[in-house]
Structure 1
Amino acid sequence: MPKDKGPLRRDIAEQVTARILDGRLPAATRVNEVHLAAELGVSRTPLREALVELADRGLLAADPGRGFSVPPIDVEEARKLYPLVGELESLALRWTSPQDLLSILGQLERQIDEMESVMESGGDLAGLDDRWHALLLSRCANTHLMRLISQTKPLVKRYDVLYFGGIDRARRSVEEHREIVAAIRANDLFGAAGWLTRNWVNGAAYLGQKPAT
């Protein structure tokens, strides 16, 4: 029987995604499939299948007859994506059991404390922010919605460098996280979802602006 290519393709797609997000495959450049296949230690066929999948998700652009390229950084596109992710995450939050959310409040608060500490020391908040949002949504049982979120969020990860800059922005984001936790503690899921949406919408407003000095 033929071997299932699904897991291999997904693994390749994840590795290529990581290279797009960390800049090893820079924005506005063409993907050299020969070099990338050699780097990943895979053949061209599963690599191309993975690249097609990433193009379908918007992480790559497919150029007929010319292969694939990494899209340029587009602030206006990012300003559309941030509120979209905010709405999706807010929906997932509203569809989560209040009891399940209460069970992780302590972890959420500890992670906010960690973010605050890193913020004051001038460290990188992007990874901690990812962990916090992942924990917040970890009890949502709607697998279809969570799959949609996981496919969409890498599109905004490319813009972290434009968002996380300046102590005022970081403090505002941390405060919004605390408001979300406070609303959950008050059994106000719609209020928490509103703050979550606001967190993403405010992030979109920061894009392309120089941090305050």
Structure 2
Amino acid sequence: MPIPQDAPALDRSLLRDDVFRRLRDAIVDGTLAPGEQLRDIELATWLGVSRTPVREALLRLGEAGLVAASPGRSTVVTGLDLRAVRDARDVVAAMHEVAVREAVARLTAADVRAMKAANRRFRDALRAGDAEAALAADDELHGVPVRVAGNRAVEIVLDQFTPVLRRAERLRFSTLTGRGSIALHDRLIAFCETGDADAAAGVAFATWHSLDPADPADPATPTPGDPA
């Protein structure tokens, strides 16, 4: 589809990260479709910024596998590369496992309440068929232990590879299969609340590793070591 003409411009004072997130989200939600050519001057006009942060964002999106550029040709939005998604899924699952294991001992009652509230919003969004709201609630829930862990290396890796999973997550959360994540979230929160770092880390890994880009309708995989 053509570059949208009616989107609000970004404040020129915003950093390059905001341009990156805006373009990333446009790719994830289908505003910028697979195969679409991306010209930095058109994107800069759309976002109301100079071409420099757009070019930097396109480079980052290329590293994440969301766009591809060939010498002398325009940058294009890539399709869903199953191998790339699986590779990213494995890395993201491992990083969340590390973050949860480091965070559990430092989680406060308020942190746990925030995770529970996010899971309720996640459940309600899935029941309403609102994949966008489900993604936001899922991000909020998993973001709590990442924030509490405070591991900058983990945050950098997640920032690079999580965007690769977004389109697969959207497909999953658009189906009834996505509801399997509700129970996994409940288990994660329960182990966090009781202070069982190893069990919580295992659930965190299983939650992310259950994402199968080849078939979003596959049921969530069981949690290793979790009682039936």
TM-score under structure 2 length normalisation: 0.78
Residue 103 of structure 2 aligns to a residue whose secondary structure is coil
One-letter code aligned to 2:187: E
Among candidates 179, 184, 197, match of residue 176 of structure 1? 184
* Structure 2 unaligned blocks of 5 or more: 1-12, 220-228
Identity %: 26
> What residue number does 2:25 align with?
18
TM-aligned CA deviation for residue 95 of structure 1: 1.8
Residues 149-192 of structure 1 show CA distances to partners (whole Å, capped at 9, x for unaligned) of 1221111112223211332x233210000111111122211111
| RMSD of aligned residue pairs (Cα, Å) | 2.6
Among candidates 101, 106, 109, match of residue 113 of structure 2? 106
> What residue number does 1:145 align with?
154
Tell me how far apart the structure 2 counterparts of residues 10 and 178 of structure 1 sit (CA, whole Å). Answer: 32
Residue 66 of structure 2 aligns to a residue whose secondary structure is coil
One-letter code aligned to 2:157: L
Q: Does the CA-based 8 Å contact 2:104-2:197 persist in structure 1? A: no
> What residue number does 1:195 align with?
203
One-letter code aligned to 2:69: A
After TM superposition, the runs of 4+ consecutive aligned structure 1 residues lying more than 6 A away are: none
Tell me how far apart the structure 2 counterparts of residues 144 and 23 of structure 1 sit (CA, whole Å). Answer: 30
* CA distance 1:24–1:113, change in 2 (3 Å): closer
Residues 63-89 of structure 1 show CA distances to partners (whole Å, capped at 9, x for unaligned) of 112131111112333222222211111
1:166 aligned onto 2:144: no
Q: How does 1:49-198 map to 2 (within 5 A)?
A: 49-124=56-131, 125-167=134-176, 169-198=177-206
* CA distance 1:134–1:56, change in 2 (3 Å): same
Deviates more, 1:183-192 or 1:12-21: 12-21
TM-aligned CA deviation for residue 209 of structure 1: 4.6
Q: Does the CA-based 8 Å contact 2:118-2:137 persist in structure 1? A: yes
> What residue number does 1:31 align with?
38
Among candidates 28, 42, 62, match of residue 49 of structure 2? 42
One-letter code aligned to 2:190: A
TM-aligned CA deviation for residue 42 of structure 1: 2.9
TM-score under structure 1 length normalisation: 0.83
* CA distance 1:201–1:56, change in 2 (3 Å): closer
* CA distance 1:11–1:186, change in 2 (3 Å): closer
Q: Does the CA-based 8 Å contact 1:91-1:193 persist in structure 2? A: yes
Residues 101-150 of structure 1 show CA distances to partners (whole Å, capped at 9, x for unaligned) of 55411221222233333333444322221221112322111122212212
Tell me how far apart the structure 1 counterparts of residues 126 and 19 of structure 2 sit (CA, whole Å). Answer: 34
User: How many residues in Structure 1 have an aligned counterpart in Structure 2?
Assistant: 206
One-letter code aligned to 1:44: R
